[in-house]
Structure 1
Amino acid sequence: MKSYLMIAVLTMGTMSSVWAADSILELSLQDVLTMPEARDVLDGSVKFYLKGQVTPETVVMLKSAAVGNVKGNATEMGDRYACKQAALAALVSFHNRAKEKGANAVVDMVNYYKQVESARNTVIQCHVDHPFASVMFRGLFAKVAKGQN
């Protein structure tokens, strides 16, 4: 009986250390933008450009920067799906704020988890720390040349 109890205690200790670890999943920005759910909430009037991506000619760079921080429930959805949902929610927030400011693009977007900047021109980072999946961006609102965005 004592050995079963010891195994149970050791297993629980191992599981809690696995759950406590913060892991990073990388997602393609394009994969998030082409999700079926994205078509319902992003109207195409605002484009998104990660830092390092080729962007259209910028007509006006608005001085305001934005930070979007969204968490999803990784336990219920699974890590990858929760990450995509969190990234989409952050993009929707940027989309709505850009339209309010008269911008048609968010440029120089970087991953900004725990205020540490990480720029990759095609990759969004999602930090999974169970039970949550977190995506945090920082970017600049801009007006880019019509027909090029």
Structure 2
Amino acid sequence: MSNFKIREIKPEDNEQVAKVVRSVLVEMGVPKVGTAYEDKALDDMYGTYQHPRMNYFVLESEGKIIGGAGIAPLAGLEEKVCELQKMYFLPEARGKGLGAQMMDTCLKYAASQAFEKCYIETLPYMENARKLYGKSGFKSLEAPMGNTGHFNCTMWMIRDV
């Protein structure tokens, strides 16, 4: 696959995006309860992100969605802190620097929306994701922030936008 493109989500992307996220979560052995797997938003990602200071970006290759990530205000700390949400890539998108490009796209959007910090929740066994977050300037936190409802996510990170 080649011709990778990062763009804003469109309504017709909803089904593919939900499949990408759920398939990566299953691949990683993520619990289906208390994680993004059960989020109702997954079935209408376009509609979910059609609100102020929110955007979801997809990674497309040859007409197929192979990854995505979003930015939204962090529930409970909406004014100054955003959350990097639902950043997942199919195996064919990994190891090509596309995660770093997606991260850059999301953080530029966050800056354009006057967020000061970006927060993310993850899991201990998502090692490659955590490496990317670390390279992108995220630092570990001792406890969660905001109110995401993802009680099974046990690692939290933050960085300046």
Greater share of helix residues, 1 or 2?
1
TM above 0.5:
no
> TM-score if structure 1 supplies the norm length?
0.28
Query: More relative contact order in 1 or in 2 (CA 8 Å, sep 6+)?
Result: 1
Q: Which has the larger Rg?
A: 1
> TM-score if structure 2 supplies the norm length?
0.26
